[in-house]
Amino acid sequence: MSSVLADLLNLDLSDVTEKVIAEYIWIGGSGMDMRSKARSLSGPVSSPKELPKWNYDGSSTGQASGHDSEVILYPQAIFPDPFRRGKHILVICDTYSPNGTALPSNKRAAAEKIFSTKAVSDEEPWYGLEQEYTLLQKDVKWPLGWPIGGFPGPQGPYYCGVGADKAWGRDIVDAHYKACLYAGINVSGTNGEVMPGQWEFQVGPSVGISAADELWCARYIMERITEKEGVVLSFDPKPIEGDWNGAGCHTNYSTKSTRKEGGFEVIKKAIEKLRLRHKEHISAYGEGNERRLTGRHETADIHTFSWGVANRGASVRVGRDTEKDGKGYFEDRRPASNMDPYIVTSMIAETTILWKP
């Protein structure tokens, strides 16, 4: 990049104008394609309620037909922008037709209904989302650090590994970590994964729908960083066939009732409800998940529900501390890396709190 371009990108506008730039972010028709466009605001804002609705051409995102293409963006959450900095913001939006009905691809609206139910909000559901992803070389779509058309040594040295022959993409990972913290996203950690070129970051604990808003914003920030670095970001649940780990988005969950004395009994009842609705959950937990949930590589078989304490080969894992303390949280290990957090978080709350078998 030329120094002139770099200088312009780093311009501090606060000396010359009150205006701030808002980057409106939404999810396109595939359910995984993130889109965004920017607009100027007359001054800083502190709440999404102060932001205007906006529109875009839904026929170009697979969300509307050409003869009636307008889709309306409703601002729902704002984050400080780590790219433009200053008072500029990232805005997570959801999508509606002009008559005010949520688009079929808008999964936030239904999640909002569940989270605003009194029984659910009284339980203050907390989520910790473990987002795994794979970094790919741009022109060949092959994992970062792998010889083109070939394979690195077998799995073993790469998980939390250090060194030029074990960890590929660390600068991207660290830049993303800091950018998310700058944006006010509650990222709690990051690590290298079992398959080389694969990494994970964790969002949470966050309450209710904000966990999903934060994860989508963190995904957007990662897309922007990898775009800049000429690296492709993949959320495929099984990017490389064979003896290589897949990628998931393990979802840790607790409620007021599971966090207080006697909570372990509440957890067992919640897990039993998840067992009874196993098929429904699997069908909503990410596309291509059957390639990942094989019963190998730290997964449970997709057709069978199981749970256990400290068991990473189970559908649902309870931590040793939770068992010992008699209260705490549990981890649903079934969601794929490409899951929609609006669907998964709200579905877990609905099944464990609202559903009466």
Q: Is residue 160 part of a domain?
A: yes
| pLDDT recorded at residue 65 | 82
The answer on 160 and 93 residing in a single domain is no
Averaged pLDDT score across all residues of the chain: 96
Which residues lie across from 332 on neighbouring strands? 251, 316
Domain that residue 285 falls in: 118-354
- The answer to whether position 221 is within a domain reads yes
Provide the CATH number for the domain around residue 257.
Answer: 3.30.590.10
Compute the average pLDDT of residues 131-141.
Answer: 96
As for how many domains the chain has, the answer is 2
Percentage of the chain lying above the pLDDT 70 cut: 100
Q: Are residues 194 and 94 in the same domain?
A: no
Residues 17 and 70 in one domain: yes
Question: At residue 142, does pLDDT exceed 90?
Answer: yes
- Residues 62-78: tens digit of each pLDDT: 999 878 889 999 999 99
pLDDT tier, 230 (very low <50, low <70, confident <90, very high otherwise): very high
Structure confidence at residue 2 as a pLDDT band (50, 70, 90): confident
Residues 272, 331 share a domain: yes
**Is the domain of 44 the same as that of 153?**
no
User: Which residue has 């339980």 as its token pair?
Assistant: 123
Same domain membership, residue 169 and residue 238: yes
pLDDT at 350: 98
For 128-167, letters b (16+ CB in 10 Å) and e give bbbbbbbbbbeeeebbbbbeeeeebeeeeebbebeeeebb
How confident is the model at residue 1, as a pLDDT?
Answer: 78
Which tens digit of pLDDT belongs to each residue from 249-262? Answer: 999 999 999 999 99
pLDDT for position 66: 75
In a domain? residue 158: yes
Q: Are 208 and 243 part of one and the same domain?
A: yes
Final residue before a domain boundary, out of 105, 129, 149 = 105
Residue 313 domain-assigned? yes
Q: Residue 168 — φ and ψ, nearest 5°?
A: -120, 120
Q: Is 182 exposed, middle or buried (0-12, 13-18, 19+ CB in 10 A)?
A: middle
Query: What pLDDT is stored for residue 297 in this prediction?
Result: 86
Q: Do 207 and 299 have their domain in common? A: yes
Query: Residue 49 — pLDDT band, cuts 50, 70, 90?
Result: very high
Tell me: do 85 and 130 sit in the same domain. no
The pLDDT score that the predictor gives to residue 357 is 87
Question: Is residue 5 one of the residues assigned to a domain?
Answer: no
Q: What are the beta bridge partners of residue 34?
A: 27
Last residue of a domain, one of 81, 105, 129: 105
Exposed/middle/buried for residue 252 (C-beta within 10 Å: 0-12, 13-18, 19+): buried
**Separation of alpha carbons 287 and 212, rounded Å:** 18
- Asked whether residue 312 carries a pLDDT value surpassing 90, the answer given is no
> Among 80, 105, 130, where does a domain finish?
105
The reply to whether 113 falls in a domain is no
pLDDT confidence of residue 132:
98
Is residue 129's pLDDT more than 90?
A: yes
Give yes or no: residues 101 and 122 share one domain.
Answer: no
* pLDDT band at 313; cut points 50, 70, 90: confident
Q: Which helix (H) or strand (E) holds 211?
A: helix 209-229
Q: Is residue 2 part of a domain?
A: no
CATH number of the domain enclosing 28: 3.10.20.70
pLDDT in tens, 314-337: 999 999 999 999 999 999 999 999
**Residue 36, strand partner residues:** 25
Task: Say whether both 298 and 346 belong to one domain.
Answer: yes
Q: Per the domain annotation, does 189 fall within a domain?
A: yes
172 in the same domain as 31: no
How many Å apart are CA 119 and CA 292, to the nearest integer? 34
